[in-house]
Amino acid sequence: MKPEYSEPQLPPNSTRQSVDDDERKALISPEDRRFDDVHYDEEETAELGPPPTRSRRCLVFSVLFFSLLLLSIAIPVQRFFWGPSKTTAKPQLKTQGLLNNGTHDFKKTAIIVSIDGLRADYLDRGLTPHLLAISKDGLRAKSMQPVFPTLTFPNHWALMTGLYVESHGIVANNFWDPATQREFHYNRIESTWVSEWWYGEPMWETAERAGVRTANLMWPGPPKTTSGASPTYFVPWKEKLDQILSWIDMPIETRPQFIMAYEPSLDQAGHLTGPTSKLVNKVLKQVDVFARDLHDEIEARNLTDIVDIVFVSDHGMTDTSHPELIFIDDVLGAGYAHIAHEDGWPAMGLRFDTPEHTDTYLAVLRNASRASGGKFDVYTHATMPARWHFSENPRIAPVYVVPRIGYALTDRAENGSGMNKGSHGYDNSYKEMHAMFVAHGPFSSVVKAVEADRIQAASSSPARRLAASILGRDLARPTRAGTRRRTT
């Protein structure tokens, strides 16, 4: 008998003191808050190597894949996507882009499930046979490089808009906006549900404008964009499998074609006990059972040739159970009192109270970085690594201190208290930060056939030209364009 899927649970005696409890709190309705306030995250020890081109391209590939998948839903079915059916049991193409599973009419449908904190190499532990089996008939990117900073909110909005962080505006999980003189907190509804924070057009808005119904089950982002668009269905928090299937089982007149869902439990376990812990492996198995059950339910409805399922994650996780602490107040001395705003974590964005203090203490930080022997780096907008696309936005603090894996920034008052055993947010070139991508379904099969040997090194240009020619417009892609750049 196969094990039943149940919502992944953390230990009953857990204090739940992890950054991602706050992330979860930010996505449930105000009256349903039931988690305590929390702390932040960090990583392990490895040399910082050059950015892996393959993994960076895999992010481009995943955003491109989502865009083309959305196109395949919004456009009448063509023979390119479905050839003649070999058996009568196969879904049959009908007029006006409809398919039939033998009992009901369906339009092409996509389900995208984000599994927060599922590090790419978790799938190589021998604990996820169902995800691997699903990927054999579909697609798997061995690893996918997230955008910097490797945090939940910046990366989920990058996946949904196709924009780099400097362009979509969510530059960290918490940050100061000098234009509005307000602070964004990912654990506060008054931030996360206010559309003005979020730049760019998410895929669900693109779909809704094309007449495609969408459903959002806890995907990070606002319930409504600045243009006033919102998904047809927006559910902050419910048991995911049942909710997804209830949408699939709706009548065609009300059924969503584009479904987004978010699962935070693996990330919570990683923060609480570290990426190599028994709890992470236990929750990973539960996630795999969820993937199997979702796939089996779609198969039982004879929808495997109609519905595409995509499993993706936002970032990885590294061990921070014994990091070497860097005391920022010791580094700055008297300058610590001149910090007006402190953004992000584990990287630290600093805004000093005057331009003179910025110049003075930037020099202090740079000298300390050189003296540290490579424990942390210090950047300004002008010196930020170009590969991060993390400079052209005033929300990005003018001074950024970025620790290497194995190190954590703190101060003497905190002394590393509340440090999680697992963290993320580091340089996106570290393999520990890399995310996963698995897809299965009719569109995935076409992409696999066309890109069989090039999936991990996929370039955006040819496929984007194809997508643009189909839709007759430019689509979202990672870009270094300035702030408030929309994808239209």
Say which CATH number the domain at 330 has: 3.30.1360.180
| 149: preceding bond cis by omega (within 30 degrees) | yes
- Clarify whether residues 256 and 382 are in a common domain: no
What is the C-alpha to C-alpha distance for residues 318 and 406, in angstroms, rounded to an integer? 9
Q: For this structure, is 152 an active site residue?
A: yes
- Residue 315, phi then psi, degrees to nearest 5: -175, 175
- Clarify whether residues 138 and 199 are in a common domain: yes
Task: Tell me 405's DSSP state.
Answer: T
Tens digits of residue pLDDT in 294-340: 999 999 999 999 998 989 999 999 999 999 999 999 999 999 999 99
Q: What is the pLDDT, as a whole number, of residue 442?
A: 84
Domain-located, residue 441: yes
- Clarify whether residues 261 and 334 are in a common domain: no
- Residue 72, phi then psi, degrees to nearest 5: -65, -25
- Strands, sheet with 348-352, edge to edge from the N-terminal-most edge strand: 339-343, 348-352, 399-403, 376-379
| 346: preceding bond cis by omega (within 30 degrees) | yes
Domain-located, residue 486: no
- For CA atoms 156, 421, 33, 245, give the dihedral sign: positive
218 contacts 27 by C-beta, under 8 angstroms = yes
Count how many domains the chain has. Answer: 2
Domain that holds residue 404: 324-423
Domain-located, residue 221: yes
> Region 273-283: what's the mean pLDDT?
97
262 contacts 218 by C-beta, under 8 angstroms = yes
Last residue of a domain, one of 408, 423, 438: 423
- Clarify whether residues 177 and 245 are in a common domain: yes
- Clarify whether residues 402 and 465 are in a common domain: no
Token code pair at residue 88 = 């009568």
Residue 331: CB partners within 8 Å, gap ≥ 6?
364, 365, 368
Domain-located, residue 487: no
Place of tokens 């079915």: 77
Q: Domain with 269 in it: what CATH number? A: 3.40.720.10
Domain-located, residue 384: yes
Confidence of residue 242 (pLDDT cuts 50, 70, 90): very high
Q: What is the pLDDT, as a whole number, of residue 76?
A: 44
pLDDT winner (highest mean) among 2-16, 214-228, 229-243, 249-263: 249-263
* Pairing of the two strands 233-235 and 109-115: unpaired
Q: What per-residue string of b and e applies to 41-63 under the rule 16 or more CB within 10 Å gives b?
A: bbbbeeeeeebbebbbbbbbbbb
Residue 340: CB partners within 8 Å, gap ≥ 6?
351, 352, 353
- Clarify whether residues 346 and 409 are in a common domain: yes
Domain-located, residue 404: yes
- Clarify whether residues 259 and 366 are in a common domain: no
151 contacts 185 by C-beta, under 8 angstroms = no
Q: What is the pLDDT, as a whole number, of residue 189?
A: 87
Domain-located, residue 33: no
**pLDDT(96) > 90:** no
- Clarify whether residues 188 and 111 are in a common domain: yes
**pLDDT(32) > 90:** no
Please name every residue paired with 339 in a beta bridge, in sequence order, or none if there are none: 352
Token code pair at residue 166 = 């400097």
- Let me know if 340 is exposed, middle or buried by CB neighbors in 10 A (0-12, 13-18, 19+): middle
Token code pair at residue 180 = 């509005």
Give the residue from 438, 423, 379 showing the smallest Cα distance to 152: 423
Q: What is the pLDDT, as a whole number, of residue 432?
A: 97
Catalytically annotated residue among 109, 150, 152, 304: 152
Last residue of a domain, one of 405, 423, 441: 423
What is the SS3 assignment for 46-106?
CCCCCCCHHHHHHHHHHHHHHHHHHHHHHCCCCCCCCCCCCCCCCCEECHHHCEECCCCEE
Distances in Å between the alpha carbon of 37 and those of 13, 307, 348? 16, 39, 20
> Region 389-411: what's the mean pLDDT?
96
Tens digits of residue pLDDT in 178-195: 999 999 999 898 888 899
Token code pair at residue 130 = 């169902």
- Clarify whether residues 292 and 202 are in a common domain: yes
Give the residue from 221, 198, 173, 149 showing the smallest Cα distance to 39: 173
171 contacts 395 by C-beta, under 8 angstroms = yes
**pLDDT(231) > 70:** yes
The stretches of 342-405 forming alpha helices (DSSP H) are: 355-372
Confidence of residue 348 (pLDDT cuts 50, 70, 90): very high
- Clarify whether residues 373 and 417 are in a common domain: yes
| Portion of the chain with pLDDT greater than 70, in percent | 71
- Clarify whether residues 282 and 345 are in a common domain: no
The SS3 of residue 264 is coil
- Clarify whether residues 314 and 328 are in a common domain: no
Domain-located, residue 78: yes
**pLDDT(462) > 90:** no
Distances in Å between the alpha carbon of 366 and those of 28, 344, 361, 379? 41, 19, 8, 8
Confidence of residue 161 (pLDDT cuts 50, 70, 90): confident
82 contacts 75 by C-beta, under 8 angstroms = no
